[in-house]
Amino acid sequence: DIQMTQSPSSLSASVGDRVTITCRASQGIRNNLGWYQQKPGKAPKRLIYAASSLQSGVPSRFSGSGSGTEFTLTISSLQPEDFATYYCLQHNSYPLTFGGGTKVEIK
Amino acid sequence: EVQLVQSGVEVKKPGESLKISCKGSGYRFTSDWIGWVRQMPGKGLEWMGLINPGDSDTRYSPSFQGQVTVSVDKSITTAYLLWNSLKASDTAIYYCARYDCTGGSCSFDFWGQGTLVTVSS
């Protein structure tokens, strides 16, 4: 199974900050990775697919990069509505595996 | 508009069986796989399995193989997640999601609202 190691597990940041979240795969997954945002009591929402493609309707302050084993999700200027938990998901091979999540909290 | 609407809250006892549902609308239901994802209280997301509504082909996570069954009735555009004998550790929110593979890269693009399952004696 491919392990997805996501870091940090939590972070505190202020509105306007640049935030970077990383996922490392235990083996190469090409660009077969997506990023999801989940707010309390809500279903996850896709932000990024194919490692760097922005989901339609998602603000351009979100971006994804990486290929192979290292991937990043960047929020260029954190907004109040971005406080949530973020997950990566690899779909290169079965079983599909999520990262452990990153909780972004208000400083 | 693509929608996945899941069945409501369930409260069950250990050993009971359960089937929860996920009804798709607003797209060609047989064109995309449907996946199921578990979220235990206060925990992260875990992929459970996938089903192809067109031919009922399935894929399971080893962690859930033999513990649950995914099925589909394409005539009513509905996918199901079934347990034969629930355990307290099955208490969780269960999400269905459409597994979109447009352009050769797949991901879960639309999600149901989640079904809370509580198993307690």
- Give the model's pLDDT for residue A60: 98
Q: Which of B43, B33, B18 is nearest to B79 (CA)?
A: B33
Predicted local confidence at residue B3, as pLDDT: 98
d(CA A14, CA A26): 32
Whole-number average pLDDT of chain B: 97
- Cβ contact B59:B68 at 8 Å: no
Note whether B45 contacts A97, CB cutoff 8 Å. Answer: no
Please give the pLDDT value at position B103: 74
Q: Which of residues 46-75 of A touch B (CB under 8 A)?
A: 46, 49-50, 53, 55
- Strands B78-83 and A97-98, by their bridges, are unpaired
Query: A82: left (phi > 0), else alpha (psi -120 to 50), else beta?
Result: alpha
Q: Looking at residue B105, what is its pLDDT?
A: 82
CA distance, residue A36 to nearest chain B CA (Å): 9
Distance in Å, alpha carbon of B17 to nearest chain A alpha carbon: 25
Residue A107 has a pLDDT of 87
Which residue in B has a C-alpha nearest to residue A44's C-alpha? Answer: B111
* CA dist., res. B5 & res. A39, Å (int): 19
pLDDT of residue B14: 98
pLDDT at B74 (0 to 100): 96
Instruction: Encode pLDDT of B33-65 as tens digits.
Output: 999 999 999 999 999 999 999 999 999 999 999
Per-block mean pLDDT, blocks of 10 residues, chain A (107 long): 97 96 97 97 96 96 98 97 97 96 94
B95-105 per-position pLDDT tens digit = 999 999 877 78
